[in-house]
Chain A
Amino acid sequence: MSKATQKTHLCQYHKQNAKIIEFAGFHMPIWYKGIIPEHMAVRTHVGIFDITHMGRALITGPQTEAFLNYMTTNDASALTPLSAQYSTMCNENGGIKDDFVLSRLEQQKFLIVYNAANRQKDHQWLIQNSKPFNVKLEDASDKIAMFAVQGPNAQQTLQKITDTDLNKIERFKCGWTKLAGTDAFISRTGYTGEDGFEVFIWDTPTSNPEKAVQTWNAILKAGQEFGIEPCGLGARDTLRLEAGMCLYGNDIDETTTPLEAGLGFVVKLKKETFIGKDALIKQKQEGIKRKRVGLKMTEKGIPRPKQEVTNESHQKIGYVTSGTYSPILEYGIAIAYLSIENTTEGTKVLIKVRDKPLKAEVVKFPFYDPTKYGYARQK
């Protein structure tokens, strides 16, 4: 039996202002005004997302760094206190257990933020493998509220309600601060491709949501002059897709490896040991047979997950794992796994969109022009 559907601190706000769906056991907003206006707000101004549904665990103890280096593919020892990294955990075959952001709070204290749908699985996996290490694991999901404030005006928005100089918190750095008087931990990370922050309000269970609600309202008020929009999971998905970021369960899972997924930059094969290392070394030596790529539609139509991809001679070469209409580009885009010989940029392919083969082309991530959109845009 599944648990009753959970609600976040903002459930009243969402109920009054958004269309609600159930996602990973939570009542979550799918959109407020609409996916497109929310998406555009984040690309051009700023948006705020309630992402309290995500899983959060604290890992502490003298062997935390060694434990995390064993569990994850990236190099946890490269993290200095108050910095963060994107990483994955694999099974023995190199299949991805989950992808997440790992932050080092103190020398012997880390925070891992993983996917909502994997909360239990990840917690068990970490616990199960922690026995040889002197570490303590604590699922902190239910006592921390979490928001993402994303977009080119995210910094200006938060700067209005904090005394901390946000210029000093660079991309993938974190810090403790007060937001409108409430203690908060913030990290300059996100899932939209834009500059922005993820905000953690500690010690606020959903039974006592005041601090979370006040902070949410204070951010909305501060962002008003920049055109802030509350954003739902719909825009969160279209934004991450345009940026070429993976959605666990769609684009990556235990049957795909980080090398196939184009996440080689978070796999540090020089590390002494980690779960999945042997399988990944073997795959690297043999060469990957398929790879995750971006596809842009060159004729009208919107690709969707599980649709077949063929070459121009209609032979199957792969399948779509995520697809949507891109609000910025105004055409269909997809993430797909294709056999390696078809993954060169510019390769012309066909996607079977509702059984009709429609033309598409292999492109690189992000889908948008990174000089115009995203964190590296030229101002």
Chain B
Amino acid sequence: MSAWFVRHLQTLIGSLGRLSQHKLATLLTTLVIGVALALPACLQLLISNVQAATGSWHRSIELTAYLKRPTALEEANRIADRIRQRRDVAAVEIIPADAALKEFRRDSGFGEAIDALNENPLPHVLVVRPKPDYATASHLDGLAADLRSLPSIDLVQLDTAWVNRLNAILDAVRRGVLLAAGLLALGVMAIVGNTIRLDIQNRRAEIEVTKLVGGSDGFVRRPFLYSGVWYGIGGAVIAWILTGVVVGVLREPVTRIAGLYGSGFNLQGLGVQPTAMLLASGIVLGWLGSYIAATRHLREIEPS
């Protein structure tokens, strides 16, 4: 078992050594793979950043509930308490009719007209802020319906249209990224496969000799599989660097745009998990590409 392990390790290191003998060719191949892997990584980064940016908007979603007139302030407070007990509600703020009227008079410039009124025409208002976990469009609609069904509540205002639109756009983009990633993955496999095919042709004599002295298909294939894995790892590292460069270049202007919108949003780079996924997909695609190519082409080489 340990001999087997040592052989694999030797083959792994040996195939790396062989790649380093042809530095320029290896670098170019790895670069192409890196660009192909960087594209979906950057798109994924775009989605996760848009989600992070809109996440803070989700938190600012509010439902405004206008109470029926006349409703006593005590009654309004009781209703507010009841709504606060719901598990999907983070906070309920009550704006008494008097306070609202005062504010309106101050801000609107209709002071005199308002003074002419006999009684306060404004209702008490409850501002309901849902918990972020429940800030989905469908749930917000449900919450609004529940509030509407309360007897003292006259009207509930909720603007979910833009949330729906944004989520629809993100869904479409996410699907597009998945498609692009699938196509680029095929591309990576084709690149690795073709490189391995050329490598096999160059080492035809060696393969024949190995088969003559009893090397099985698996034994002959092994160094090519490891080459494919190395290409994948190299490509993933280059993709990671490219993504880092993209984020580095865009961070400052994006922060400025966010600042203009009054947001403290900061562009995020690849986290640990996406980095691991990038590396894993590089390894898997490199291995798969070389496996297909090696299995196909090694069969054709038989000693004669």
Bound together: no
Residues of A within 8 A of B (CB): none
Residues of B within 8 A of A (CB): none
